[in-house]
Chain A
Amino acid sequence: MSYIPNTQQDQQIMLEKLGISSLEDLLTPVPENVRLRRALDLPPALAEPDLKRLLYGMAAKNKNLVSTISFLGAGTYDHAVPSLVPHLQRRSEFVTSYTPYQPEVSQGMLQAIYEFQTMVCQITGLDIANASLYDGATAMIEAVLLAIGPGGRGEVVISMGVDPQYRRVLHTYAHTRGFSVKEVPVRDGVTSIEDLDAAVNTSTSAVIIQQPNFFGCIENMRAIEPIAHKGKAVFITTITEPASLGVLASPGEYGADIAVGELMSFGNTMSYGGPALGFMSARNKFMRLMPGRLVGQTVEEGDQKQTGYVLTLQTREQHIRRERATSNICTNQSLLAVGATIYLAALGKQGFRELGELCLQKAHYAFRQISAIPGYKATFGAPFFNEFVITAPVSAQKLQQHVEQAGIIGGYALVNSYSDMPNDILFCVTETRTKEDIDYLVNVLRDFDSSHLSEARRESGVGGMDIREVQV
């Protein structure tokens, strides 16, 4: 099967106009010594019905979260998407368009992105936002690069409460760009204020804190902000769970300079982690340093003066500024931004707050139930939003096998990221979990065979533990 409409006869007519006899004649610029004179070693073509059967089969091998109860978050969150969102987002005029280089025929996408930029500002409480970045981790990198400046080196101070994957990416870029990274330990679930204070000095370019942090705990941003700002550093906050902004103080309110993070869970599917939706929102003073596309409102040339939207401040960008661009980003995540925009319009002012409250209440209910099971303990005492860490009586991996056998996907075993947390599990409860789901999880955890419980009582104390080791 094929999407090439021209038949052999069509192509023959075209070749005749060109005065040549075969398609092969058009390949003469490719020298014989680099020609592939065999067929590619690929599976043969499949007709649509056969290919569908194949892919249905592959998809069915995956345990999907429509039919499986899951308490997995850790950077990727399951929020209910109203049906109107995909119906509108997948309109093919949006889906099949390119970056809006010709604004006269791209007003739909440009206006949608302008609305996206506005809504990002509304939820973060900051002044400006760009048109999207690849994902939360690379958005954080772009913020760091903005902070250290072109050719800059400097030092970046980052809390170990920031998503371990984000920190891995930061180390990758730090090596390439030659800036240094100082990691600040977490104490009782939140960034150690004393260690942060000791880490930040006049040569610090950026201070990065995640809110809520990777353990679900809420950082005391009002105490952190003056430390982050005591030198010349840019105070960057990363947000992986934007539903938190319905109830928690916004970056604008607690004095962050730049907010970056992940909006995939708003109106889009988690799709095994990508495509994701990185965002960047900042104070006005960073406008001309922003990476990526920016859409601006303007008017028509001439006398009509009707309002319209264009890509603007493009002299920051790679296609104009080349090696002096503020970033190399070209393709971004526009279609996901459209999804998030429609989603936030659908929730609206009231729904956005309700979303945050639902997550908060359900997670706290789950926390109260689980931490009351004999043998299970709250690991940290800090306030949290919709994720919390529980220290299990056995290794997290062993417990997770048990939970999986009960047909659900449990939380995230923190030992995968923090080697000194063998028994600790990060549970996430969004609004998509019902009381029934939560009670089922609680029963599964409670019913865990008592012989397992006696086998490996955790010896170390809980609460107040320091986290300094990380596997990257």
Chain B
Amino acid sequence: MSIESLIFEKGAPGRRAATMTAMDVPAESLESMIPESMLRKDPAALPEVSEIEIVRHYTHLSQRNFGVDTGFYPLGSCTMKYNPKLNEDMAVLPGFAHIHPLQPDSTVQGAIQLIYELEQYLSEISGMTRVTLQPSAGAHGELTGLMLIKAHHESNGQGHRNLVLIPDNAHGTNPASATLADYKSVEVKTDPLTGGIDIEHLKAVLDSNAANIAAIMMTNPNTLGLFDSNILEIATLVHEVGGQLYYDGANANAVLGITRPGDMGFDVVHFNLHKTCSTPHGGGGPGAGPIGVKEHLVPFLPGPLPALGDNGYYWAEQGPQSIGKVRANNGNFGVLVRAYTYIRTYGPDGLLHVAQSAILNANYIKHELATDYEIAYPQICQHEFVATAERQKEEYGVTALDIAKRILDFGMYAPTIYFPLIVHEALMIEPTETETRETLDYFVSVMRQIAEEARTNPEIVKSAPHTTPVGRLDQALAARKPNLRWAPGQEVTH
């Protein structure tokens, strides 16, 4: 496929697409309204293009982009499930899409009701007392959760607690969020046999830092796709030294209706509604990262929170212990409408079946791949598992990256690679529940073919992809000589 030039290289002076509304008021000179020194001298050098050029340009760009609607997307820990069209239609209803965040409560009763009810659903699903829907994404939720934990410790005269324990297989956002919350991360090792937290190591870390432990951040099932069955013991150990338990909800698709973070002993949980509740990832966002908490943390939640009174739904300000707002307005409402629609679509039995089916699909692929690939932890997995290219690398010089690129040639997206960091040549595979048995079988057959190619024709794997709009790109050059924007006169290599 040939290259698509930039929008800036298209069009001609004087060309345009949008027509502006009429100037129907008596106009005055700019200078009479605004001092000349405050006016723009250098007009923004935006493109000058016609409507047909714009439509073809962005249509072509979309054709050079792979989504769940294009094909299988087994990106581990990202839960790339099907994004229902119904949800999209509901989010753009005028009564949801065209309402202003500062409208009086009396004029947005349906919106506050939706938020009020969604909070109840998420509280029930997670086993928590209350949920704030304010955080914009998972990492934003993590930070908010750590702020709540910090406020809790401070209110108990424990503000000196400065350590957050994070397993060595955790998402990178966990330690990054801890730093942002002014905490220091302490790594907890994985037990190489169970794939769960190494209990002896945890005890040692807790013993030597007991007075300074603020929290532990855990994902359960973790990024190896394994459920840590010691979770209640871990919760007891951490609580005994005065720490709080934070649940990273990135993998919550595996627990719907099966178990709840609240029942596992967690004090704070975040959801990734753009994973678990099927809202689309949009090429990187938007998401939504609601935070659920147990009773003792409710006073610290960001405000306002939705409430129902005699005169209907309203926003109730939080008390003086609240950490304050974590963003403007009340969360990614458009995402919340989609998540609400999703939960109402499935109901309680349906959500349980979602989790069970996701777990079955992951175990099925794991089982089928075990003959050709090393599986990092061969036991029963939950929603995802980690295969490795160690055998292929050692014997044929074919890496996880090569295999990922070769998968693209077969009309599928690649698994998450080189993560979790504790598994060499990791291929982290999460099929989700929304794939057919035929798709899973096709993926397995492709993976077997690639394993065979690694043995017989490794070059075809190492030089992949071959059928994509562009081949492998020079990442080193991009970082060494950053070109982050187009500028006039910039030549594009065709």
Contacts and interface: CB of A to CB of B under 8 A. Distances in A.
A361 B179 contact: no
Given A61-B95, A100-B284, A360-B30, A346 B136 contact: no
B321 to A, nearest CB: 12
Contact of B352 (A40, A111, A129): A40
Contact of A298 (B35, B41, B46, B475): B475
Q: Which has the most chain A C-beta neighbours within 10 Å: B41, B95, B408, B468?
A: B95
Interface stretch (A118-126, A201-209, A461-469): A118-126
A177 interface: yes
B18 A299 contact: no
20 contacts: A29-B221, A46-B345, A55-B90, A63-B99, A94-B67, A102-B414, A104-B468, A172-B325, A247-B34, A248-B38, A271-B333, A271-B334, A275-B334, A294-B484, A300-B473, A322-B185, A346-B18, A349-B46, A352-B46, A383-B33
Contact of B137 (A51, A134, A175, A300): A134
Contact of B257 (A39, A93, A132): A39
B393 interface: no
A421 interface: no
Given A112-B58, A117-B484, A383 B35 contact: yes
A76 interface: yes
Interface stretch (A6-14, A371-379, A452-460): A6-14
A354 B471 CA distance: 42
B137 A272 contact: no
A220 B493 CA distance: 44
Contacts of A6: 357, 361, 436-437
Contacts of B347: 42-46
Interface in A38-87: 39-46, 48, 51-52, 54-67, 70, 72, 74-76, 78, 80, 82, 84, 86-87
Given A31-B232, A99-B284, A300-B474, A351 B20 contact: yes
A358 B408 CA distance: 48
B380 A345 contact: no
Contact of B408 (A105, A178, A335, A352): A105
Interface in B52-72: 54-55, 57-70
B434 interface: yes
Contacts of B82: 3
Q: Which has the most chain B C-beta neighbours within 10 Å: A64, A274, A314, A362?
A: A274
Nearest to B274: A331
A122 B44 contact: yes
Nearest to A5: B436
B44 A349 contact: yes
A135 B328 contact: yes
Q: Which has the most chain B C-beta neighbours within 10 Å: A15, A72, A296?
A: A296
A198 interface: no
B175 interface: yes
A346 B282 contact: no
B111 interface: yes
A349 B350 contact: no
Contacts of B356: 23, 26-27
Contacts of A168: 324-325
Interface in A345-387: 345-355, 357-358, 360-362, 364-365, 383, 385
A210 interface: no
Given A108-B61, A178-B182, A331-B274, A119 B136 contact: no
A299 B493 contact: yes
Nearest to A385: B34
B330 A61 contact: no
Interface in A238-274: 245-250, 252-253, 262, 269-274
A11 B357 contact: yes
B405 A327 contact: no
A175 B150 CA distance: 10
A472 interface: yes
A406 interface: no
Contacts, number: 716
B359 A350 contact: no
Contacts of A114: 6, 484-486
Contact of A29 (B37, B101, B382, B473): B382
Contacts of A301: 471-474
Interface string B331-367: 1111101000101111111111110110111011001
B3 A115 contact: no
Contacts of B30: 247, 357, 360
Interface stretch (A229-237, A429-437, A443-451): A429-437
Nearest to B117: A43
Contacts of A321: 172, 176
A350 B45 CA distance: 9
Interface string B88-103: 1111111111111111
Interface stretch (B201-209, B223-231, B237-245, B446-454): B223-231
Contacts of B335: 274-275
A40 B351 contact: yes
B368 A17 contact: yes
A171 interface: yes
Contacts of B125: 40, 42
Nearest to A365: B25
A176 to B, nearest CB: 5
A347 B349 contact: no
A27 to B, nearest CB: 6
A4 B328 contact: no
Interface residues of B, number: 212
Given A107-B64, A108-B63, A80 B21 contact: yes
Contacts of B65: 93-94, 97, 105-109
A202 to B, nearest CB: 24
Contacts of A105: 65-66, 408, 413, 465, 468-469
Contact of B353 (A4, A61, A317): A4
B173 to A, nearest CB: 5
A169 B45 contact: no
Contacts of B394: none
Interface in A274-302: 274-276, 287, 293-302
Nearest to B441: A14
A298 B63 contact: no
B483 interface: yes
B437 A14 contact: yes
B180 A331 contact: no
Interface in B395-440: 404-405, 408, 413-414, 416, 419, 433-437
B299 interface: no
A331 B325 contact: no
A82 B332 CA distance: 23
Contacts of B60: 108
B329 A351 contact: no
B420 to A, nearest CB: 11
B328 A298 contact: no
B47 interface: yes
A465 B360 CA distance: 67
B258 A298 contact: no
B58 A51 contact: no
B250 to A, nearest CB: 10
B75 interface: yes
A348 B110 contact: no
B155 interface: no
Nearest to A119: B46
B269 interface: no
B293 interface: no
Given A346-B17, A347-B46, A310 B475 contact: yes
Contacts of A75: 101-102, 328
A154 interface: no
Interface in B109-160: 109-111, 113-114, 121, 124-125, 127, 136-140, 142-143, 146-147, 150
B391 interface: no
B137 A330 contact: yes
Given A6-B436, A109-B283, A123-B46, A98 B327 contact: no
Nearest to A35: B259
A346 B67 contact: no
